[in-house]
């Protein structure tokens, strides 16, 4: 064997010997671990209300607010990831034992003089909720070749062995504890969407389960479109967190002023707002700002936010609860139809008609959709004119009235309870009149006459 190999092997042996002297001989045996039990301590993790992590390069703090939600409070305030913060609180409050005390071990041999990281957490006991208790755990090094790390209580020289996963948790950066949700909550909780974009302003509000436009006009909103927008906003996740200490960058990031300011109000009236700015150099994300934190999100949401208000306006002329419609009336220049419903049965001008035909007529009316929208001045020009046709749905507490006007090759309509006017296909009146006639002339199948059994012949005497 050549001298070089001998030197290498000698080095390996010396390294193993040093490991045994410094670590292995001080590590507990299996018997000691079982005797010491699975935990160093167990504290009420659900009552931990703050955690402070101190490293040589950074310090940050997590704290529960009055509602019990975790927040990053230092170096800058920001909502915390509830699962990450909660898991860290549980790891510290229920500190697992990866071994017994290292009797006679010197803290400096385990990277505890000074410690690589310190974790201080406060909690309250249920019996004394006004009295806060504090504990600080100092962490050293990962023990080579094991899944164990060294730790000690602040003010004590007794070395503890803990799972290395706890050390990995407290070594995580502050961004790992920030919530990736851009808007908290769920789409079902959204009551109002408020979008400011330059001089434009779009407001969508949900009332009794129905979406309405409130800005720039007050009108029925496209329910599916508004719901989709709410779902996409609530589903937004931060891709990266960007240092926001340099406030001068906000202008170059398109955040001073922002290109979009999106606010969501939930059913309880709580409002959260996020600014969106310029596209990042990667071309796939845009800058955003929530509270004082700058972050990036996917740029697909910009397309939705850039749509005109008409894209979120309900194209269907009427949107009643189908089951609540009690009657249908139609007037086509002197030819009138009056349908009434009693339970599942329909009648026209007092005569029974088939329910299927009446329901088909109702479907035809509910399927009326505008090709485009007209503003109030255009609607005002229609009102002095006699309508070509009028359709009314009667229901409680308020019905729907539709007036149709033949204007050149198109049909224009006004709808009670809705602003402006609507442009429909040129054959709309013809199709409606045909649907009314078909339903009015339908004849329900008469019930079969009851079968009468033949009389028995008289008995002979």
Mean pLDDT, 10 residues at a time, over the chain (461 residues)?
61 54 45 55 94 94 94 94 96 88 81 95 92 96 92 92 95 96 92 93 93 94 95 96 75 93 94 95 94 94 93 94 95 94 92 95 96 92 94 94 94 94 96 96 71 63 56
Looking at domain 322-440, its CATH architecture is 2-Layer Sandwich (3.30)
Do residues 335 and 433 touch, judged by C-beta distance below 8 A?
A: yes
What is the SS3 assignment for 33? Answer: helix
> pTM (2 decimals)?
0.78
Q: Report the top-level CATH class of 26-177.
A: mainly beta
So what's the pLDDT on residue 25? Answer: 46
Do residues 278 and 259 touch, judged by C-beta distance below 8 A?
A: yes
- Each residue's pLDDT tens digit, 4-63: 666 666 665 555 555 444 444 444 443 344 334 588 899 999 999 999 999 988 999 999
* Longest Cα separation, the chain: 140
Burial group, residue 387, by CB count within 10 angstroms (0-12, 13-18, 19+): buried
Three-state secondary structure of 225-283: HHHHHHHHHHCCECCEEECCCCCCHHHHCCECCECEEEEEEECCCCEEEEEEEEECCCC
- Each residue's pLDDT tens digit, 43-56: 999 999 999 999 98
98 vs 167: CA distance, rounded Å:
12
- Sketch the domain layout of the chain as residue ranges: 26-177, 187-312, 322-440
Do the first three CATH levels of 26-177 and 322-440 match, i.e. the same topology? no
In whole angstroms, how far apart are CA 291 and each of 3, 74, 79, 81, 158? 66, 13, 9, 15, 43
């Amino acid at each position: 064997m050549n001298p070089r190999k001998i030197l290498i092997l000698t080095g390996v042996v010396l390294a193993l010997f040093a490991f045994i002297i410094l670590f292995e001989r001080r590590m507990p045996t299996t018997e000691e671990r079982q005797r010491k039990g699975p935990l160093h301590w167990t504290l009420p993790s659900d009552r931990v209300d703050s955690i402070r992590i101190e490293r040589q390069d950074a310090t940050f703090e997590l704290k529960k607010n009055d509602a019990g939600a975790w927040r990053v409070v230092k170096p800058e305030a920001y909502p915390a990831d509830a699962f990450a913060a909660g898991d860290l609180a549980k790891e510290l409050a229920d500190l697992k034992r990866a071994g017994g005390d290292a009797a006679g071990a010197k803290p400096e041999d385990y990277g505890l003089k000074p410690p690589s990281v310190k974790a201080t957490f406060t909690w309250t006991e249920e019996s004394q909720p006004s009295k806060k208790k504090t504990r600080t755990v100092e962490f050293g090094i990962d023990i080579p070749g094991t899944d164990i790390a060294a730790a000690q209580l602040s003010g004590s020289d007794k070395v503890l062995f803990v799972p290395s996963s706890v050390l990995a948790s407290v070594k995580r950066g502050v961004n790992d504890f920030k919530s990736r949700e851009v808007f908290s909550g769920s789409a079902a909780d959204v009551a109002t969407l408020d979008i400011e974009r330059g001089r434009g302003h779009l407001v969508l509000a949900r009332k009794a389960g129905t979406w309405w436009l409130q800005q720039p006009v007050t009108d029925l909103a496209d329910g599916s479109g508004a719901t989709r927008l709410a779902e996409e906003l609530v589903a937004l996740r931060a891709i990266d967190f960007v240092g926001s200490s340099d406030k001068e960058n906000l202008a170059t990031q398109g955040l001073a002023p922002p290109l979009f300011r999106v606010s969501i109000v939930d059913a309880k009236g709580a409002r959260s707002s996020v600014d969106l700015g310029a596209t990042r150099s990667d071309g796939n994300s845009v800058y955003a700002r929530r509270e004082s934190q700058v972050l990036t999100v996917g740029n697909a949401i910009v397309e939705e936010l850039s749509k005109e208000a008409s894209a979120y306006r309900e194209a269907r002329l009427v949107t009643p609860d189908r089951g609540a419609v009690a009657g249908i009336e139609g007037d086509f220049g002197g030819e009138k139809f009056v349908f009434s419903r009693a339970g599942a049965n329909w009648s026209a001008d007092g005569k029974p008609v088939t329910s299927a035909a009446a329901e088909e007529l109702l479907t035809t009316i509910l399927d009326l959709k505008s090709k485009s929208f007209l503003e109030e001045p255009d609607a005002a020009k229609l009102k002095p004119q006699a309508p070509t046709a009028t359709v009314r749905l009667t229901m409680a507490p308020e019905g729907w009235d539709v007036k149709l006007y033949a204007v050149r090759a198109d049909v224009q309509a006004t709808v009670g309870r809705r602003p402006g006017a609507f442009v429909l296909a040129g054959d709309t009146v013809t199709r409606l009149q045909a649907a009314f006639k078909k339903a009015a002339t339908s004849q329900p199948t008469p019930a079969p006459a009851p079968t009468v059994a033949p009389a028995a012949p008289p008995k002979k005497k």
